[in-house]
Amino acid sequence: MTDSTSLTFKSTSTNPRFEAAYSWSKQIFKTLTLPAVGIAVFLVLWSASSMNIKTSLGQFPGPVAVAQQFGTLYDEHMESREKEQKFYERLEKRNAAKLAKDPNYQAKQRKYTGKETFVDQIGTSLITVMSGFLLAAAIAIPLGIWMGLSTTLNAALNPIVQLFKPVSPLAWLPLVTMVVSAMYVSDDPWVAKSFLNSMLTVTLCSLWPMVINTAQGVSTIDDDLVNVSKVLRLSPLTHVRKIVLPASIPMIFTGMRLSLGVAWMVLIAAEMLAQNPGLGKFVWDEFQNGSSQSLARIMAAVVVIGFIGFLLDKGMQKLQAWVSWDK
Amino acid sequence: MSAFLDISHIDMTFPTPKGEFTALKDVNLQIKKGEFISLIGHSGCGKSTVLNVVAGLHQATSGGVILNKKEVKQPGPERAVVFQNHSLLPWLSAYQNVELAVKQVFGNSKSKAETKEWIEHNLKLVHMDHAMDKRPDEISGGMKQRVGIARALAMEPEVLLMDEPFGALDALTRAHMQDSLMEIQNELNNTVIMITHDVDEAVLLSDKIVMMTNGPAATVGEILEVNLPRPRNRLALAEDSEYNRLRSAVLTFLYEKQRKVEVIPTAAKTEAKNSEDDSAAASA
């Protein structure tokens, strides 16, 4: 008994090539095969259950219907681009013809006003979420650093942060809308009001994780490092620049990652209600539209929203790993 | 003539929920320029507090510190500290860690080339010139402590304060570091206050060993002059009768006069439990 076990043990351990191949295939199994099985099971379950759900807009879309919609959405986008190009070609031709007749003619530049396609709306959503998120970061990180350095300020602001942190974007949006329409009055607006509404809602909701994490990171800097700064008599600004900021970079980025996740979630809700062109509006419009294709198109949007959220998080993670010293 | 560094009648009390705690009581110590002083005592006797007061990181409740005729009121680079846990900035290389100190202390008085040369000179002094571009997490504990010492030396301090600089190192590395420190001291002749737990280290390095009584209200117990000729060699000293006399004097102070009864909580608990078992057995 003992002999045979020691024999098998030997036979595997004396063959490193076999072992390497074995562990490699195990790795493949874990990183590729298992997720693939998971997705396959999910698709089967989805497909089976969708067949049993009848809605007023027809049957709930299964994976195949959604996949078809991806094709349709892409075709629509290409078609629209083609139309746009033709529009500009026509415009140019007309302008050139008029210019030939009358050299003093001021060429008119009209903008193409076709409907935004799904792909355009992805772009708009990304711009909106990044604007809102960057504005939040520009406020939250300096504020968090200040709160982390001053226990007085921290004690004063902490209740406010805790109070606003759990507020849903849906509660902020009406307030933001009213304030924006009252304050942002311009004949030639730089950006649309709807854009500003959803952007500011994103900002209001994504501020808090960054404030909290930054303050936490700054207030928990190793005392020894603070003492080094004291012995060197660094000025307050140098202290922040050379000690505080680099020391709390890992925590700041943790906060930024959390915030970006919140921002993306909030954005979809905000766009639905603010009617800002974007993925949220796309979902809302399809819902209002109520064609037999609508549910499949919404489901396609759901997949895209999830995938972009995943990519944003991965991107932030990569950025964090790149700037952090505590790898 | 007044002392170069005068630690004058320092009291230190900390407020606690149970009332005031007196950590130090009337600590009095005069140090000459170029002297190497060791502070030795049991843990919790307030050695670090004395050092922090001299560094300016703590303010004494009463009494004060005068360095070179100026009162110490806040921390400053003329009293450079070598911290127990090296305290290097983990995101900077060895060179950059020293550079931060050099740029802060010398500012514009050194040219770019002079700054670079001075940083490299100090890293060479601690034998770290081969790993200047390594970050703290890429080098060993002893190497980190070397860089910490280089950083402190590079500030050209009037007094160098070392808080158990080799406490976290293994015995071999520690011996290496002590030899390096003696070599540097031979060259620069700095005024040094070093906290240590290690009797051999204290005798080997110091001109004077300041032995502290146990807290609370700790103070200077005895001061032992070490008149061993320099340079000192640890192997030769092991046989030296004067060395052994000094060593046993410190040991006598620590383990007879200031014997500290350490309460080991787990042992106490098992004992209590045993006695409970005994009483239970008795009642049965």
Average pLDDT over residues B253-278: 61
- Interface confidence: ipTM more than 0.95: no
Q: Percent of chain B at pLDDT above 90?
A: 42
Domain ranges of chain A: 2-52, 60-101, 118-323
Over the stretch A252-289, which tens digit does the pLDDT of each residue have? Answer: 999 999 999 999 999 998 888 888 888 999 999 888 88
Which chain A residues are Cβ-neighbours of B90 within 8 angstroms? 325-326
- On whether residue B101 sits in a domain, the answer given is no
- On whether residue B277 sits in a domain, the answer given is no
Under an 8 A CB cutoff, do A225 and B57 touch?
Answer: no
Band (pLDDT 50/70/90 cuts) for residue A100 is confident
Under an 8 A CB cutoff, do B89 and A228 touch?
Answer: yes
3-state secondary structure of A172: helix
Quote the pTM value.
0.79
- In DSSP notation, chain B reads ---SEEEEEEEEEEEETTEEEEEEEEEEEEE-TT-EEEEE--TTSSHHHHHHHHHTSS--SEEEEEETTEE--S--GGG-EE-TT----TTS-HHHHHHHHHHHHHGGGS-HHHHHHHHHHHHHHTT-GGGTT--GGGS-HHHHHHHHHHHHHHT--SEEEEESTTTTS-HHHHHHHHHHHHHHHHHH--EEEEEES-HHHHHHH-SEEEEEPPSSSB-EEEEEE----SS--HHHHTT-HHHHHHHHHHHHIIIIIT------HHHHHHHHHHHHHHHHHHH-
For chain B, how many structural domains are there in total? Answer: 1
Q: Which residue of B has its CA nearest to A241?
A: B100
Domain of residue B46 covers 5-80+157-258
Band (pLDDT 50/70/90 cuts) for residue A214 is very high
Q: Which residue of A has its CA nearest to B163?
A: A224
Band (pLDDT 50/70/90 cuts) for residue B266 is low
Under an 8 A CB cutoff, do A227 and B90 touch?
Answer: no
Angle at A121 between CA A307 and CA A194, to 5 degrees: 120
- On whether residue B149 sits in a domain, the answer given is no
Q: Which residue of A has its CA nearest to B91?
A: A325
- On whether residue B23 sits in a domain, the answer given is yes
Band (pLDDT 50/70/90 cuts) for residue A13 is low
- On whether residue B97 sits in a domain, the answer given is no
Using CA atoms, how far apart are residues A14 and A288, in angstroms rounded to an integer?
Answer: 68
Give B265 or A54, the one with higher predicted confidence. A54
Over the stretch B238-256, which tens digit does the pLDDT of each residue have? Answer: 889 999 999 999 999 988 8
pLDDT at B232 over 70: yes
The pLDDT value given to residue A14: 60
Mean pLDDT, chain A, whole residue set: 87
Q: Which residue of A has its CA nearest to B102?
A: A232
Over the stretch B151-177, which tens digit does the pLDDT of each residue have? Answer: 999 998 999 999 998 888 888 888 888
Which chain B residues are Cβ-neighbours of A225 within 8 angstroms? 87, 89
Average pLDDT over residues A89-97: 86
- On whether residue B73 sits in a domain, the answer given is yes
Over the stretch B1-29, which tens digit does the pLDDT of each residue have? Answer: 568 999 999 999 988 888 888 888 889 99
Over the stretch A39-56, which tens digit does the pLDDT of each residue have? Answer: 999 999 999 998 888 888
Tally of CA atoms within 13 A in the half-sphere of B193 that contains its CB: 29
Contact B247, B200 (CB under 8 A): yes
* CATH number of domain containing B226: 3.40.50.300
Over the stretch A300-313, which tens digit does the pLDDT of each residue have? Answer: 999 999 999 999 99
Cite the DSSP H helix spans in chain A: 2-13, 16-28, 34-51, 63-101, 118-149, 151-164, 169-183, 193-219, 223-231, 236-238, 245-274, 279-289, 294-323
Tell me which of A231, A240, A323 to substitute to probe the interface with B (most B C-beta atoms closer than 10 Å): A231
The pLDDT value given to residue A237: 93
CATH superfamily of domain region A118-323: MetI-like (1.10.3720.10)
Band (pLDDT 50/70/90 cuts) for residue A3 is very low
Mean pLDDT, chain B, whole residue set: 86
The pLDDT value given to residue A7: 46
